[in-house]
A = this chain, B = another copy of it.
Amino acid sequence: MENFSFQNTTKIIFGRGTQHQVGAECRHHARKVLLHFGGQSIKKSGLYDQVVASLIDAGVEFVELGGVQPNPRLALVHKGVELCRAEGVELILAVGGGSVIDSAKAIAMGVPYEGDVWDFYSYKTEPKTALPVATVLTIPAAGSESSDSSVITKEEGWRKNGFTHKVQTPVFSILNPELAFTLPKYQVACGAADIMSHLMERYFTNARPVELTDALIEATLRTMIRNVPKVLANMQDYDAWAEVMWSGCVAHNNLLDTGRIGDWASHGIEHELSAMYDVAHGAGLAVVFPAWMRHVYRQDTNRFVRFAVEVWGLRNDYWNPEATALAGVQALQDFWVSIGMPRNLAELGASPEKIDQMATLATGGDRWTLGNFRKLGQADVAAILRGAV
């Protein structure tokens, strides 16, 4: 086990009806908040009205800023920063999924910073402080509701960069599985692929032994595999949704990282894919991750055998561990296809012509490598994408 430091301070308020607590919780931190959200879905579902009523009941003033898009944009972050400064906002309340939360985190870091918040996402400097962020989660997927990271897209040059710093960890997050009942099924499946990818990025490590976290990750993956088909079969299945929503948070709150070094190459490759084609992050991961696995599994075939047996419940072919390992990868891909995810770049709507360009961008033309389980150069990334055609 590697040495580590772990702290996650987010207060999770989980369960039916918990959105009505949002005003009282905000009041512990702020007199005035920015209510930040995406499109019309929270108005149609009634959640917007419930949040507003709860804020008013608690005597919390608010201004609002909607319009967050998937792959949240820097321009709206700038707008939010200006608004918060002008209005004396003390907390950013994100009501939505990962994109809304990430946009809120960027605004929260931007308000007290004299320069451009993109300085953080381009690794020029680090924030000293931030406004508190809180969330009412509507989509189990990104895990941003209790993470210390966010991803923002700069329209100019279409750069999509992630940034990790503890000042953006939400102070509280409200998770009510009922709020997910009305999601489009494709979005549910994309969220599931994202959650499972967060778990697998951590799982595939060369750190050894890491028995506790291996077993915790496997437990969380199995919970996803059992419950995602249940919610897709019955979108009102509260019990199954509760498992998925809590798994999505646990998957990314850094507990399952402890003592390990995660891989994250598949996320790096997918970032190029979604920057190039604006595809959903989860759908991109569903295409990239199995191709990555087939490219790298010989790095530690035993770990892939364990993945097949412990996560997917496959029988080990003791005399042919490679076959077991590859059967595990196939089981993952078949599962994702069964919930509606694409199998390859063609189904994702991404043409193979741009593979070399993406591989160049992902590795800076071989100036840096991707991943930790196996360090990948430009040729590896191109081979992985070609394996996903």
Contact = CB atoms under 8 A, between A and B. Distances in A.
A312 interface: no
A362 B184 CA distance: 53
Contacts of A15: 1-4, 259
Given A212-B247, A215-B220, A226-B211, A239 B1 contact: yes
A5 B13 contact: yes
A369 interface: no
A279 interface: no
A261 to B, nearest CB: 13
A8 interface: yes
**Which of A9, A212, A218 lies at the interface centre, i.e. has the most chain B CB atoms within 10 A of its CB?**
A212
Nearest to A18: B3
Interface in A183-233: 209, 211-212, 215-216, 218-220, 222-223, 226-227
9 tightest A-B CB contacts, nearest first: A3-B15, A215-B219, A7-B11, A1-B242, A212-B223, A6-B12, A219-B219, A9-B9, A211-B223
A140 to B, nearest CB: 12
A1 B243 contact: yes
B212 A246 contact: yes
Contacts of A239: 1, 209
Nearest to A216: B219
A250 interface: yes
A258 B242 CA distance: 11
